[in-house]
Amino acid sequence: MQIQRSHLFTWGIKKIGLIIILLVFVEPVYAHVNADELEKLLKSNTYFVYLLQGFLHIIPLGFDHILFVLSLFLLSPKLKPMLWQATTFTIAHSFTLGLTMYHLISPPVKIVEPLIALSILIVALENIFSPKLRPARLGIVFIFGLIHGLGFANALNNIGLPKNDYFSCLILFNLGVELGQITIILLAYFFLAKWFSNKSYYRKIIVIPLSILIAGISFFWFFERLFL
């Protein structure tokens, strides 16, 4: 029985790694429609459309944001630390998302996208070299949340917001993003933390290998976005 569990565990880790590698090199086939088209096609369902757009920006389109949330989760998969980090991240990215959509700040995409990749790399490296969650992690999460909020704003700018429901649709998009992030956390909990977080090998077999993989991907993204 022990041997079977070991084989099952190894198989699961290989599958997760393979899926991550495949997704990095696959461009999502997805076309955004603009705000006027959304209102015209789905006048009575505009709020739902923006909620859905926010969710889709995380799952399946926001692979970089997925890896960031997973990196936050891996080091300490317990509920309380994860909630603190998720709340801090939400406050930060909501702030810059709002500022950008109201044209109070206008950061260039060529700077924002490499910084998002760099934020994933730094968190993944911290998971590798830090054996436990440090208090300073919340400050790091807040700063990186500000950066990710700029990325969400770039995505929302591509869609646009209807003039008559600008604020409401902005909130709904942001809520969709949150639902996507919560989904990632729940999936990570049920597929990883629930079964393995209390095991003695959790850090050695799960945290470090997955963090190395995420660090490698984000390192590739950083230079790709910086120079291409």
pLDDT tens digit string along 74-101?
A: 988 787 888 888 889 999 999 999 999 9
**Domain annotation covers residue 56:** yes
Helices 63-75, 46-58: axis angle to 10 degrees equals: 60
Local confidence band at 37 (pLDDT 50, 70, 90 cut-offs): low
| CA 88 and chain centroid, separation | 14
The answer to whether position 144 is within a domain reads yes
The reply to whether the predicted model has a pTM over 0.75 is: yes
| Residue 77 · residue 130 · CB < 8 Å | no
- Residue 142's contacts (CB-CB under 8 Å, 6 or more residues apart) are 88, 89, 91, 92
Quote the pLDDT of residue 40: 57
Lowest mean pLDDT across 61-65, 115-119, 129-133, 217-221: 129-133
Q: Answer whether residue 52 is part of any domain.
A: yes
Mean residue pLDDT across the chain: 83
Report pLDDT for 29: 37
Residue 1 lies in a domain: no
Q: Does residue 20 sit within a domain?
A: no
- Does residue 23 belong to any structural domain of this protein? no
Tokens representing residue 94 in the block = 């909501």
- The more confident residue out of 19 and 122 is 122
Question: Angle CA(169)–CA(173)–CA(179) in degrees, nearest 5?
Answer: 140
Domain that holds residue 159: 31-227
Instruction: Quickly count: other Cβ atoms within 10 Å of residue 192's Cβ.
Output: 21
Residue 22 inside a domain? The answer is no
Token pair listed for 96:
């810059």
Q: How many domains is the chain partitioned into structurally?
A: 1
Per-residue pLDDT band for 133 (boundaries 50, 70, 90) equals confident
Cis peptide before 107 (omega within 30 of 0): no
In a domain, 118, yes or no: yes
Residue 41: how many CA atoms within 13 Å on its side-chain side? 8
Query: In 25-62, which ranges are continuous DSSP H helix?
Result: 35-41, 46-58
Which element (helix H / strand E) includes 187? Answer: helix 166-188
SS3 of residue 142 by DSSP: helix
